[in-house]
Chains A and B, each alone.
Chain A
Amino acid sequence: MATPESALPVPQPYRPPVIAPGYTPGTVTDKISAVVLQRTPKWWYLAFGLSFCLMMVFLGAVTWLFLKGIGIWGVNEPVGWGFAIVNFVWWIGIGHAGTLISAILLLLRQEWRTSINRFAEAMTLFAVACAGMFPVLHLGRPWLAYWLFPYPNTMGIWPQFRSPLIWDVFAVSTYATVSLLFWYVGLIPDLATLRDRSKKRIAQILYGFGAMGWRGSAAHWHNYESAYLLLAGLATPLVISVHTVVSFDFAIGIIPGWHSTIFPPYFVAGAIYDGFAMVITLALPLRAAFGLQDFITTRHLQNMAKVMLATGLIVVYGYGIEIFFAFYSGNQYEKFMILNRITGPYHGQWLALIVCNALTPQLLWFRRVRTSPVPLWCVAMVVNVGMWLERFVIVITSLHRDFLPSSWGMYRGTVWDWATFAGTIGLFLTLLFLFIRFLPMISIAEMRAMTPGAQGSEFPEAAE
């Protein structure tokens, strides 16, 4: 009997294939594993080297930070949160696309996800790693960060569970853990493949460890698929909840511009928007570099662009509603906040944000833009910047002029703020390059299943 358990989509004849014709499980395996098993390309060393240097900038910035204190950043009296929180939200948002692609699209049986999910999940992990550091770094006393975890201690004192920051701790750590598990579980069969195909002893041992003795028996696949599907089911509400919780950091506060009920959906949409932009930003160059056009086809570009367009429109709706609420509510603080955002000292950032997030993506209405890599990549890049600006505007312009005119102020990021941000980009790229070099960036096992006739042609009655 055909159980709906089967996670792996059955190719429908009328749909264009997500994998170029003429591929068999064998050739798919060879092509993808070759990326890992072949000799390291020259450009990789260059790229990795540069990313590594950027990561060292991060090391330097953080060292100085720990020595001197966060006074080296631009944060001050009215504006207690600065770049650190902006970057935190930005990175977390980027992560979301990965989980969304691998989990939600899986449940929705979007088989085209198969060729990008592994890579997107990795991106999620690395983004969360970058994001996760900021809440610790921005503490006045980062060495006490563990006080945010509920552990029994001699003082008998516990975290304060009403604080959104504690919710953050739970949400982000859960998110990181689940993403990691999900990613690793997906990797196991491919690690087995690499174990069996690699010539070098050391590689065989290492991949062997990772594969944990996977031998692809039917019984294994049976539990494996069930677990994978359940994980997807768990990850789906989780990914929604994470950015909801992040948005609570602001929505629970009473500051005008933060204290808003639309934040959760608006943040989640923004996260997906940004996340897909980042997937495109990264996938297009890699696709070219490794000649994977057969697996990451224009159909993928199309679909990702469409998701961006849709979520982008939701975000724009969010902006509109924020302005509407401000005046509809009749709350003078809200009104002032919006006017200050649009006409105040940070109106430049606000304008840039509108151009980046609201106007530019409208190009995606055109098929030609969606299908041609270079313009698409540019749009995605602009959106990455725009979403960073959005968080900047939300965090800073709301804080810098709150209730009492006497305590209004200005905020400006220092060189250390920038160095720390750039440094995390370095960290992200470093991890990414290590990943594409040593792990299959496309799920081989799932791609095999996509090849024609993979499910067996003989017994159609069993196939549907």
Chain B
Amino acid sequence: MSIESAEDEGRTPLQAAAGGSPTPLDVAAVRESLRGKRGPALWRSLDELAATPGFQNFLHREFPRQAAEWVESPDDGVSRRRFLQLSGASLALAGLTACTKQPLEHIVPYVKQPEEIVQGRPLYFATTFVLGGYGLGVLAESHQGRPTKIEGNPDHPASLGATDVFAQASVLDLYDPGRSQSITGLGRIRTWGDFVNEVAGPIRALRALGGEGIRFLTGRVTSPTLADQMKTLLAAYPKARWHRWEAGAPPYAHRAAVAAFGAPRETVYDLTKARVLFALDSDVLTRGPGSVRYARDFARGRQARGDRPAMSRLYSVESSPTNTGTLADHRLALPPVQVEALALALAAELGVAGASAPAAGSLPERAGAFVAALAKDLRANAGASAVIADGFASPAVQVLAHAINQELGNAGRTVLHLPPAEADPVDHPESIAALARDLDAGRVELLVVLDANPVYTAPADLDFGKAIQKARLRVHLGLHADETAELCQWHIPAAHPLESWSDARAFDGTASIAQPLIEPLYGGKSVHEVLAVFSDRIDATSYDVVHDYWTKRLPGPSEAAEGTFRKALHDGLVAGTATTASATTAIAGGAVAGAAAEIAGRTAAANPSWVPLMFRPDPTVDDGRFAGNAWLQELPKPLTKLTWDNALIVSPRTAERLKVGVEQVAKLTWRGREVRAPVWVQPGHADGCATLHLGYGRWRAGAVGTGTGSNAYALRTSDALAVLPGVGIVPTHGRAILASTQNHHLLESGAEEIPAATAAFASRRPVRTGTLAEFAANPNFLRSEGGPESEAREQAAMPPDQREAGMSMFPAYPYDGYKWGMAIDLSVCTGCSACVVACQAENNIPTVGKEQVLKQRAMHWLRIDRYFEGDLDDPLLHHQPVPCMQCENAPCEVVCPVAATTHSAEGLNDMVYNRCVGTRYCSNNCPYKVRRFNFLRYSNHDVPVLKMLQNPDVTVRMRGVMEKCTYCVQRINGAKIDAEVAGRTVRPGDVQTACQQACPTAAIVFGNLNDAGWEATRRRADPLNYSLLEELNTRPRTTYLAKLRNENPELAAAPAAVPEHGPGGRTT
């Protein structure tokens, strides 16, 4: 990219073209016009912009012959910039593929023969997705130079081929027209050259002072290259300071580690070896840098089969409900103070030195029994258990967790305390506070904010928005012109990870390199390039920096190193960089006692009338960085099923106590700070406390994110980063409409509806559950309940030909060749929703916006049904992914008047979009309601850059046609073609559906049911296998494995499988 700066003049129009959007001045205007609009509205409005008279006028002139008259004509003030902007927009409308050239440097494709791009065949490149500083190895699918899909890298320890929602959605961020598109100085468009020249002076001056007054602010950094750059830089500027603030990351892990071990430690787990797990206020399976890997390891131990009726056991104690908690065999929802007390009680029970049982009465009595049984279980599995407390638990609790693992001998076996992957680890809250102090004291001359948004995310008490303006010169690098950019003189658009070179370490320290798949669409710069400006090699590109760093360090002479480098690129990780557990893990003396005292103190001081407020990163927009990502905004939050908003989440009892109702706006006050948020009642939330997710209420997050939800940061002070001890909650008369994708009507039609829903859930049993004990006693226990299962048994007795037909009056169609089917194991589904986003990305599924979601028109082909079971105040929660069932006797097909949906020879329920006239009869007649209809024109045809995002193998649907899950038929056919070319049939593993590929726990498997080699076929034969609404004899190809829980006999008082009352089926 060395020619980049030279190219600048010429490329500006192209950049503008990429968004179809001109200078920030106009973008601001657009934002104004977009206020209050959501999602799709954005794209339309940009189009309107391109339709401004000036532009239309321009179109009619011939370019560039008439260009001359555009140059600075004072009368109408049309400037050269305007000219470029308009020509940009015109190119945009003309179509954009010209912009998708490959980067100039050689990047190494994951598959052979990268030189030739075979038309219609994607290339896969190994790269790294970075979230919160940690790397996740991914493979990016590229069609003719357009990255369209992210998959996990099977070789990467943090991924093993799976991904999380954020990695899946990151590809939308790449093309997001709301990204900042040009370098701005004081709000005017400038070039990179301008920036370099204009900051050169100050830098030189400050360098003379040893860097006095220079401050860098980044998020967590694990990138070895960046760390190295920083090191050299700080050497050159000894008085400069490097601050870190990762708003969404667990705030206390560092503190706790230092308290426990005297030094920062990265605590990672080996769940394959753990037979008993105790998640202590932790969402280990779906949050955090290792979660994808942990989920896979955990799932391995949870899949009981007829021949192997064994499972690990998971206990969970938490205040704010988590996905991990929904899988727990025994879950206890307690307010934060009691969680701490319970941790202490457990430590005492296990005889951890220095731990004294908490004061009597500080715990409810069922907690007592819980602790006793848990302790016994842990003791029995000493060395093969794990107590997991991530950084949202208080430091004291984490210290106790470490001590308990120490005591049980888990440390070094299932629990590893490694030197942190983070470069130069610091305590982030302290770091950001220190920066704020320096700012306030006016000690900061030059502040460089790299890929962080402190003005929005910094603790409220620091009042960072005011403080930052005390720095004389402020530079911001970021994907979006966000709240921080607003207050900086210089804003530099950051290059998206898929646009630039970098590297990062995974949770276990494994380093992997991020290689760009596409030239920066909007001329973005990487962190490395901005830091280079402070070095002697001002024009170093990120490739130079990264390449040099690694080739210097990799073993062997330079060409050997070069080879290793290329191999690292190809494999997607640098071999042998995983951290080995060499660190000391002895618990510092007095740490436990200190923690115990601290907890005892808090327990004593606790005022029952207080309502603690918990802050957690949002399940879909994280710390707010994804607020502009429509996929994640519209992705139903796994537990609340809310979209486009956050809410004050409380338990039913607490709602009654506070006299607040669902969607009623409550005023939250804390030390004179005030936030208004609508209430959401969530069964399973601990009583007496509330949760407000971070990441919403942003005021500069583009047309998609701006103004959605309530800003939790406004209450989050430095001393209450995870839990705010007592928030004031005042009900107001306001009401906010929240868009939940499931059973929203139960709110409208009131509580008397709930029994109906419960009864329906209880008798229809869409989710079948049982305990390991029952299963071990009789593997067929689920079938021996009469009804359709007994029917199934009779069928088993029939001769094959009749069995095929089953209950039908006529013979079934034979499926001799391929017979595609899917089996979903409910025992291991965490509800993380990665599959939903993966499906959205793979199948060009549009987002519809909050209003349409409220009208129950969300388009996700794959939805995750969420059911509560049992007592309203302590329910079980089930996740059930529901794709198309691909019924062999499909009710939808029979009623289609134009044969737009028919059956393929392989048993797929094909949907022919261009034949569909849109009667919606098929949807009415689908008992599973998996069909989705384009009630309006949902697909965006207007913004050229978003066309680059579409998967060319999947039709983009128009208004008025029905669509639904196809089992990723494009992938199936791809695999069949390859197999045919190779002169064989499709073998197990040749084809994966998008949802299956993304699934961290391998809950979803897909395959040819005529071939015993596929896992799907094996699962179908499993005694736990059942099909949804079996009694309708639709003969679904998608089946489920019943959800098993491994109950501790001593705690068998768990909720009954199917009670008469309670909110089963209710999904508020």
Of the candidates B898, B933, B1029, the one whose C-beta lies within 8 Å of that of A148 is B898
Q: Does A307 contact B (CB under 8 A)?
A: no
Q: Are B898 and A160 interface neighbours, CB within 8 A? A: yes
Name the segment of A66-74, A97-105, A188-196, A298-306 touching the other chain. Answer: A66-74
Asked whether A76 lies within 8 Å of B918 as measured between CB atoms, the reply is no
Tell me whether B899 and A404 are in contact (CB under 8 A): no
- Measured in the bound complex, the distance between the Cα atoms of B933 and A21 in whole Å is 64
Which residues of chain A have C-beta atoms less than 8 A from B865's C-beta?
Answer: 404, 406-407
Taking the nearest CB of chain A, how far is it from the CB of B1029, in angstroms? 6
Q: Is A237 an interface residue (CB 8 A)?
A: no
Which of A77-85, A375-383, A440-448 lies at the interface with chain B? A77-85
Interface set, chain B 710-768, CB cutoff 8 A to A: 742-746, 748-749, 753, 756-757, 759-761, 763-764, 766
Q: A162 near B: Cβ within 8 Å?
A: yes
Choose among B744, B756, B882, B898 the residue that contacts A336 (Cβ–Cβ < 8 A). B756
Do the beta carbons of A147 and B936 come within 8 Å of each other?
A: no
Q: Contact check: which of B882, B937, B959 meets A406 at CB < 8 Å?
A: B882
Q: Could you give, for residues 143-166 of chain B, a 1 whenever the CB lies within 8 Å of some chain A CB and a 0 otherwise?
A: 000000000000000000000000
Q: Are A140 and B895 in contact (CB under 8 A)?
A: no
Query: Does B362 belong to the interface (CB within 8 Å)?
Result: no
Chain B residue total in the interface (Cβ 8 A): 63
* Cβ contact within 8 Å between A405 and B918: no
In the complex with contacts A158-B899, A165-B895, A140-B1067 CB distance below 8 A: no
Closest to B865 in A: A406
Q: Does A75 touch B at the CB level, under 8 Å?
A: yes
Cβ of B54 within 8 Å of any chain A Cβ, yes or no, is no
On chain B, the residues within 8 Å of A255 by CB distance are 924-925, 927
Q: Which of B882, B916, B928, B929 has the most CB of A within 10 A?
A: B929
Write out the residue numbers on chain B whose beta carbons fall within 8 Å of the beta carbon of A70: 918, 935, 960
Give the contacts of A108-148 with B (CB-CB under 8 A): 138-142, 144-145, 147-148
Which residues of B have CB within 8 Å of A409? 744-745, 856
Q: Judge whether A169 is part of the interface by a CB distance below 8 angstroms.
A: yes
Query: Would B745 and A140 count as touching, CB distance under 8 A?
Result: no
Contact A332 B1065 (CB under 8 A): no
Instruction: Indicate whether A252 reaches chain B with its CB closer than 8 angstroms.
Output: yes
B894 CB–A CB distance under 8 Å: yes
Query: Is the pair A402, B961 in contact by a Cβ cutoff of 8 Å?
Result: no
Once the chains are docked, how many angstroms separate the CA of A407 from the CA of B760?
A: 12
B205 within 8 A of A: no
Neighbour of B894 across the interface among A74, A77, A162, CB < 8 A: A162
Chain A 41-81 near chain B by CB (<8 Å), digits 1 or 0: 00000000000000000000000000011111011111011
Q: Which residue on chain A has the smallest CB distance to residue B1032?
A: A254
Stretch with Cβ within 8 A of B (4 or more), from A204-212, A238-246, A339-347:
A339-347
Give B855-892 interface residues, CB cut-off 8 Å to A: 855-858, 863, 865-867, 880, 882, 891
| Chain B residues, CB < 8 A from A74 | 855
Q: Mark A140-173, 1 if CB is under 8 A from B, else 0.
A: 1110110110000000011110111110010000
B128 contacts the other chain (Cβ, under 8 Å)? Answer: no
Assess whether B745 is in contact with A406, with CB atoms less than 8 Å apart. Answer: no
Contact yes or no, A160 B960, CB < 8 A = no
Contact code string B914-927 (vs A, CB < 8 Å = 1, else 0):
01111111011101
Partner of B753, one of A145, A164, A345, A402: A345
* Listed residue (A163, A249, A340, A343) with the most chain B CB atoms within 10 angstroms of its CB: A163
Does B896 have its Cβ within 8 Å of any Cβ on chain A? yes
Contacts of B324 in A (CB 8 A): none
Interface residue A309 (Cβ < 8 Å from any Cβ of B): no
Q: Residue of A at shortest CB range from B962? A: A140
Q: Does B547 contact A (CB under 8 A)?
A: no
Docked complex Cα distance between A410 and B1067 (Å): 15
Residue in B745, B763, B925 whose CB lies within 8 Å of A332: B763
Q: Is B897 an interface residue (CB 8 A)?
A: yes
* Residues from chain B with Cβ under 8 Å of A290 in the complex: none
Q: Which residue of A lies closest to B937 (CB)?
A: A69
In the complex, A408 has a CB within 8 A of chain B: yes
Residue of B nearest to A335 (CB): B763
A78 and B925 CA atoms in complex are apart in Å by 10
Interface contact A163-B921, CB-CB below 8 Å: yes
**A340 near B756 (CB under 8 angstroms)?**
yes
Q: Given A69-B937, A77-B932, A163-B896, does the pair A403, B743 have CB atoms closer than 8 Å?
A: no
Interface assignment of B934: CB less than 8 Å from any CB of chain A: yes
Contact (Cβ within 8 A) B897 A163? yes
With A and B bound together, what is the CA distance between A140 and B744 in angstroms? 25
**Count: A-B pairs, CB below 8 Å:** 184
Interchain CB contact under 8 A, B898 and A159: yes
Contacts A81-B920, A141-B961, A163-B897; is A403 near B745 (CB within 8 Å)? no
B897 A69 Cβ-Cβ under 8 A: no
B927 near A404 with CB under 8 A, answer yes
Q: How many residues of A contact B (CB 8 A)?
A: 55
The CA of A401 and the CA of B919, in the complex, are separated in Å by: 20
Are the CB atoms of B960 and A141 closer together than 8 Å? yes
Chain A residues whose CB sits within 8 angstroms of the CB of B915 once the complex forms: 147, 157
Contacts of B929 in A (CB 8 A): 77-78, 402-404, 407
Contact status A140-B936, CB under 8 Å: no
Near A by CB (< 8 A), chain B positions 146-199 give none
* Distance between Cα atoms of A72 and B936 in the complex (Å): 8
Residue of B898, B915, B1067 ringed by the most chain A CB atoms within 10 A: B898
Given known A254-B927, A405-B743, A406-B882, contact A165–B919 (CB-CB < 8 A): yes
Query: Chain B contacts of A160 at CB under 8 A?
Result: 896-899
Whether a CB of chain B sits under 8 angstroms from the CB of A253 is yes
Q: A77-B932, A140-B917, A254-B891 are in contact. Are A403 and B1067 (CB under 8 A)?
A: no
Give A200 to B927 CA distance when docked, in angstroms: 64
B869 → chain A, closest Cβ, in Å? 12
A140-B959, A332-B763 known; A147+B917 contact, CB < 8 A = yes
CB distance from A65 to the nearest CB of B (A): 11
A19 lies within 8 A of chain B by Cβ:
no
A407 to B866, CA, bound (A): 11
Question: A216 to chain B: closest CB distance in Å?
Answer: 46
Q: Are A402 and B927 in contact (CB under 8 A)?
A: yes
Any B CB within 8 A of the CB of A235: no
Contacts of B918 in A (CB 8 A): 70, 139-141
Query: What mask results when residues 252 to 293 of chain A are scored 1 for a CB within 8 Å of chain B, else 0?
Result: 111100000000000000000000000000000000000000
A69-B959 contact in complex given A140-B916, A254-B891, A406-B1065, C-beta closer than 8 Å: yes
Q: Which residues of B contact A358 (CB under 8 A)?
A: none
Q: Given the complex, which residues of A lie within 8 Å of B763, measured CB to CB?
A: 332
Instruction: Check if A68 sits within 8 Å of B898, measured CB to CB.
Output: no
Across the interface, name the chain A residue whose C-beta is closest to B915.
Answer: A157
Q: Are A140 and B960 in contact (CB under 8 A)?
A: yes
Q: Which residues of A contact B959 (CB under 8 A)?
A: 69, 71, 140-141
User: Which residues of chain A have C-beta atoms less than 8 A from B936's C-beta?
Assistant: 68-69, 71-72
List B contacts of A140 (CB < 8 A). Answer: 916-920, 933-935, 959-962
Shortest Cβ gap from B1062 to chain A (Å): 13
A399 an interface residue at 8 Å Cβ cutoff?
Answer: yes
**Nearest Cβ on chain B to A182's Cβ, whole angstroms:** 27
Q: Which residues of chain B from 974 to 1006 have any CB-CB distance to chain A below 8 Å in the complex?
A: none
Query: Quick check: A164 and B745 within 8 Å, CB to CB?
Result: no
CA distance A159 to B897 in the complex (A): 6
Q: Can you list 20 pairs linking A and B with CB atoms under 8 Å apart?
A: A69-B960, A72-B936, A74-B855, A75-B935, A77-B932, A80-B933, A81-B920, A139-B919, A140-B920, A140-B961, A140-B962, A141-B960, A148-B897, A165-B919, A255-B924, A336-B756, A403-B929, A404-B882, A406-B863, A408-B746
Given contacts A69-B959, A253-B891, A405-B764, 9 further A-B contacts (CB under 8 A): A75-B920, A76-B856, A148-B898, A159-B897, A159-B898, A165-B921, A332-B763, A400-B745, A406-B742
**Residues of A at under 8 Å CB distance from B?**
68-72, 74-78, 80-81, 138-142, 144-145, 147-148, 157-160, 162-166, 169, 249, 252-255, 332, 336, 339-340, 343-345, 399-410
Interface pairs A-B: 7 shortest CB-CB:
A140-B918, A140-B960, A71-B935, A71-B936, A80-B920, A405-B1065, A407-B929
